[in-house]
Amino acid sequence: MIKLSNLADYAVVLMSTIAARPDENFTAAVLNEDTKVPLPTVSKILGKMAKANLLISHRGVGGGFSLNKEVEISIADIIEAVDGPVQLTNCLSEEEHNCDYVPVCATRGKWDKINKAVYEALDNVPLSEMVPSKYDFFTEEEKKKLRKQG
């Protein structure tokens, strides 16, 4: 099974919450209250998002974190900020491997193509698509009617 780490999953939840109200500053306490992600985890993720330039840190009274609107943020950006590069197998990393199967591994060179496809899929989903719409509970047909009504 391929799955995101809990930290990456929480990071997407937090960033989606922030992106839903892009003009606001968020503290760790507010995000903890809104999302129920544990407070120490929220703090850790906010620091990583700011370090990756996905969030802007504001100090002082009324401080917190806000979305960096100058960058297009993808799901891959968020995952890489908390977990490092997207890599499906250990042999895809830049580091030296201590794998006994390297001399006889028939698939090692083939994983790059799969890894690239997964990365591109994650990179092609902008954070904006993860923000819930106020019409999410309507069918597609109902959404079209509402949009026409303005």
pLDDT band (50, 70, 90) for residue 68: very high
CB 26 within 8 A of CB 54: no
The residue type of 117 is A
* Between 138 and 72, the higher pLDDT residue: 72
CB atoms near residue 58 (< 10 Å): 14
Of the candidate ranges 24-33, 61-70, 72-81, 103-112, the one whose mean pLDDT is the lowest: 103-112
Model pLDDT, residue 133:
67
In this predicted structure, the answer to whether residue 96 has a pLDDT above a threshold of 90 is no
In this predicted structure, the answer to whether residue 150 has a pLDDT above a threshold of 60 is no
The angle at the Cα of 10, spanning 117 to 111, to the nearest 5 degrees, equals 20
Instruction: Give the class (CATH, top level) of 6-149.
Output: mainly alpha
Note the pTM of the prediction, 2 decimals.
Answer: 0.81
150: Cα separation from own chain's centroid: 31
